[in-house]
Structure 1
Amino acid sequence: MILSSRRAFLGATGKTLSATALAMVVGSNIKTADAADASQDIQILNAAIALEHEGIAAYQIAATSGLLDPAVVDIGVTFQGHHKGHRDILVKAVETLGGKPAEEKSLGAYAKDLKASTLKNQADVLRLALDLERGAANAYLGLIPSLGPDYHQVAAQMAGDEAFHAAILANALGQPIPKAALMFG
């Protein structure tokens, strides 16, 4: 399931993702201190690329499933575009570090991994996407204390994007606006 793997990746890397790797992902020109740091950063970034590939595939599977209304497909394709942008930034960072970016698997392999055959209707697809986006928002918020002050804003922006996605998906599911404050984190 996307949620558990993405949350585990971001939660685990929140403490190990170097400032160098994050800076490269967000476009800074900070250089890696040594080859060991670069190798570790490449591994972490490739894990993120693999998860972005999975997210892209999940949205593709959903879009072509025949389970979604056209307006919902449009939203999913937009979110898929965000994941493609993330992937492209991560690929550039790995290449800048001298590494080879993680390759994507076949769409069929992702469908099997995601248990796409268990999705029976639009609500099933939306619930999966909502869980993914909520998990991502919480994971990005969890990164903020682990980062230097220069990167707090970037992590907060990412969390805001994911929270926005979650709000759209919750609305599509007809979920009420939460009564309590501080819904994420």
Structure 2
Amino acid sequence: MNRQRGVSLISLLIGLLISSIVLIGMMMIFRNTIQTIVPASESSRSDGERMSALLSAHMLLQDGGFGIENAIYDTHLKVLNNDTLVPLDIPSGSTATGNTIVWLSSIAGNIQCNGLRADTSGGLWRVSCNTTLGDITPTARLILPSQYTDDGVAPITITATRAPCWPFGIGVEGNIMITLVLQNSTEHLIDSSTCLVNFG
């Protein structure tokens, strides 16, 4: 009589156990890969958006003092820290650092007040104000804080410096340079400056 050959129940169970272990290992590798790639991708996208918004903020700053003859600090431009004016001395190299900057400009004879305000979560707001540089009201959020930084994002700082400067390194000389310092998703500080040519 011939013996039947085939797969026994024990060998099926051993095969199933080995397959399960391999499958669980592959799922853990997949999960770890996703946990690494998705936050890195989102952080990169967030940093790109923050840099684009920073460029927009500098374009807004170029409007400061436009159309105003002999525009000066404290009358047509102010740096505030929690709504308190930060004085900017006359000598070159003097600085004023705060969380808000507001300025006046004249468009077709119409005086307008605009500005930027940094919040405590690393965001930056575009603000409107009245012609006395008061009554500051947020209107649109330009920069959102990165949501993938464990410790939160440091607030953006706004600094006005009295120094000879040129927009984009060429053209008419200005006398006040505005620097925005922000933190990216890897917690490195990035500073970006613009020259206000309408303030001599």
- TM-score norm. by structure 2 comes to 0.31
Larger radius of gyration: 2
Task: Decide which structure has greater helix share.
Answer: 1
Greater fraction strand: 2
